[in-house]
Amino acid sequence: MIAGPEPLLEVQDVVKVFDLPHRGFFGAARRLRALAGVSLDIYAEETLGLVGESGCGKTTLGRIIVRLETATEGRVLFRGRDVRARSGTTNSADRRSIQMVFQDATGSLNPRRRVRDIVSLPVRAGGVVAPGLVDDHVSQVLEEVGLPSELGGRYPGQLSGGQQQRVALARAIALEPAVLVADEPLSALDVSVQAQILRLLERIRERRHLAMLFVSHDLAVVRYLCDRVAVMYLGRIVESGPVDEVFDHPRHPYTVALLSAVPSTRQRTDVPIELAGEVPSAADIPPGCPFHPRCWKAQDKCRAVLPQLDSLNGARVACHFPE
Ligand code: SF4
């Protein structure tokens, strides 16, 4: 990691609320708070892992960073500039600089377009290279992701899952981004293909000096790939820090439980910690510490007072009684 003095990407106090359909004809309006004030920084050339159970807000945060969703509150800055706030070429270059690959590569590719068009259309639209150089640019990118040139004439439905994810990666890097948001890019793939795409991601990151937000529930991969990690629970970051510090010395009970579930990352306990109950709904978040109904260390203060992220031994932890 080369951490510059200023973050490349800053997520500042981002809140995202979704309005849900009324329950029944006379039911009250319901709101789902998917993100409850998330802040994080990503520095040039570093990879930040974002982990947590399904539904904790990881994907929503990634979609807000690439502007597929709008934050209800808060903002996202790229090189100190709010990418939503400006118009003109500077802003469009900033927007191009943050790209995303998705878990569902099949769904993210237009089934009626050939691979070469899927990659070249955004290149042309974004003016990444002069019009006469687009074909060469696309060929180079397809080669970089390991796709033989003859596959450029095929449709996504004629490709394997791994090849589709390579196309999605090609489309993203063809726009010469500085930041890549990778949302569970391996989890829909066979295990053998996962290893190939993971190595490809590493190669692309290093060759292109990319910063990356790597969203995943696979803690072993996060430890392998990431410099820092942020742990989310019910729309909040509950712990963050250098990946070795957090994995070797987890302080938040939720992080301890998550790590204990994976043999290769288990540190504090010999056996997995079984958390009580299910993750509460983001439409009905418990008061105080949102984790208290499942936490074996919960005390009265936890049920009443929301813990803030505080620095602790090189990490940051939102817990009244950290480990
Ligand atoms: Fe558990 Fe209390 Fe810490 Fe929340 S604040 S994680 S309930 S000990």
Residue 257 CB coordination number (10 Å): 20
The band of 26, judged by pLDDT with boundaries at 50, 70 and 90, is low
- What is the mean pLDDT of the segment spanning 50-77? 92
How far is it, in rounded angstroms, from Cα 34 to Cα 57? Answer: 5
Distance 288 CA to ligand 1 centre (A): 9
Exposed / middle / buried, residue 316 (Cβ in 10 Å: 0-12, 13-18, 19+): buried
pLDDT of res. 262 = 76
Ligand 1 atom closest to Cα of residue 321: 8
Q: In a mutational test of the pocket of ligand 1, which residue from 234, 251, 292, 317 has the highest number of ligand atoms less than 8 Å from its CB?
A: 292
Joined together, the tokens standing for residue 151 give: 């596959």
Which residues on adjacent β-strands are paired with residue 242? 228
Q: Phi/psi class of residue 127: alpha, beta or left (left: φ > 0; alpha: ψ in -120 to 50)?
A: left
pLDDT tens for residues 175-187? Answer: 999 999 999 999 8
The band of 1, judged by pLDDT with boundaries at 50, 70 and 90, is very low
pLDDT of res. 275 = 78
pLDDT tens for residues 78-95? Answer: 999 887 755 544 556 777
Q: Which of 57-66, 188-197, 264-273 has the lowest mean pLDDT?
A: 264-273
Q: Mean pLDDT score of the chain, rounded to an integer?
A: 89
CA angle in degrees (0–180, nearest 5) for 157-179-66 = 65
For ligand 1, atom 3, the nearest C-alpha belongs to 319
